[in-house]
Copies of this chain bind each other. A is one copy, B any other.
Amino acid sequence: MSLTVVGSVAFDALETPFGKRDKILGGAGTHFSLSASFFTQVNVVGVVGGDFGDAEWAVFERHHIITDDIEVVHEGKTFFWSGRYDYDMNTAHTLDTQLNVFETFQPKLSEASKNNRLVFLANILPMLQKEVREQCETAEFVAMDTMNFWISSMKDALIETIKVVDCIIINDAEARQLTDEPNIHKAARMILDYGLKAVVIKRGEYGATLFTRDSYFVVPAYPLESVFDPTGAGDTFAGGFMGYLASQKEITEETLRRAMIYGSVMASFNVEEFGTERVDRLEYNEINRRFSDFKRMTHFDEIPFERSVSA
């Protein structure tokens, strides 16, 4: 028993410059739990409609993800999102959003989900995130995501939620919007001041940054010559990050740093193919090899400069 995620389980329709898919498995809860499942046991809390089929359930089963808390509303339809990416793969253009059964989603946590050591609140209504957090009384480390829509429409409620978690994982534009502070370092410090232990800022092709009270840690993005489909990259990052932490006995500066690397590794695989396709068939040796690549591309020896007379 280790990690719970509450979030969307969905169908996506995607168009990118490299191809399209009409209806594939997606959603924050899906991408997160699939990524985390490589590191730990995951309980996923969500809701789907009667159209959620065997092929979709099979993805969760293959990765031993516990889906007891995915409610099935047989007469309803699963959350559907349709989007397009142009050559700037950083920006998703939403073509259609059908909330369906997700519109009235009320997370129902089993005792198992409530008692996990770590909890991730994927991007849902801030008040729901707070309710879930309060149900997980014994959780050691709770992290959350959010989005621009909640920041602009209900910042106060969102801040009340931020105050009761340990970590927030958001992108740089969201951090700036949340704080009205353009400098990302100042913005992160302002968010830490809500009482968090850690703030993780995702910066797309520029990597990710971890801010804690006493430290600052930067991870570059993995150097990909092409990004095929960025959908779910942020949730896949969060899944690797939280999944790795859940696998460790303690959450320390050292484990947080390695969690940042594992998050980046998992996200780098996610974007190589459509939806969950690449992560679904990922193997441990691929993960560890890419972890080593991150070490290789950031390592240098610290040798203080001393000016010699001859230099």
Partner-B contacts on A (CB < 8 A) = 2, 38-41, 87, 182-183, 185-186, 203, 206-207, 209, 215-218, 220, 223-226, 244, 246-247, 254, 257-258, 260-262, 284, 287-288, 291-292, 295-305, 307-308, 311
Q: Most chain-B Cβ atoms within 10 A of its Cβ — which of A284, A291, A311? A: A311
Q: CB within 8 A of A305: which of B220, B254, B262?
A: B262
- A307 contacts which chain B residues (CB < 8 A)? 38-39, 247, 284
Minimum Cβ distance to chain B for residue A159 (Å):
22
Q: Tell whether, in the assembled complex, residue A183 and residue B311 are in contact, meaning their CB atoms are under 8 Å apart.
A: no
Q: Tell whether, in the assembled complex, residue B247 and residue A297 are in contact, meaning their CB atoms are under 8 Å apart.
A: no
Q: Tell whether, in the assembled complex, residue B311 and residue A261 are in contact, meaning their CB atoms are under 8 Å apart.
A: no
Minimum Cβ distance to chain B for residue A224 (Å):
7
Q: How many copies of this chain are found per oligomer?
A: 2
Q: Most chain-B Cβ atoms within 10 A of its Cβ — which of A39, A215, A300? A: A300
Supplied contacts A2-B311, A186-B225, 6 more A-B pairs, CB within 8 Å? A40-B311, A183-B225, A207-B218, A215-B297, A218-B297, A254-B301
23 A/B residue pairs, CB under 8 Å, sorted by A: A38-B307, A39-B307, A39-B311, A87-B182, A183-B225, A183-B226, A185-B225, A186-B225, A206-B206, A207-B220, A209-B220, A215-B297, A216-B297, A218-B297, A218-B298, A244-B305, A247-B307, A254-B301, A257-B300, A258-B303, A261-B300, A288-B304, A291-B302
Minimum Cβ distance to chain B for residue A254 (Å):
6
- A182 contacts which chain B residues (CB < 8 A)? 87
Complex CA gap A200/B41 in Å reads 43
Minimum Cβ distance to chain B for residue A223 (Å):
5
- A220 contacts which chain B residues (CB < 8 A)? 207, 209, 218, 220
Given contacts A40-B311, A303-B258, A307-B39, contact A296 B247 (CB under 8 A): no
- A258 contacts which chain B residues (CB < 8 A)? 300-301, 303
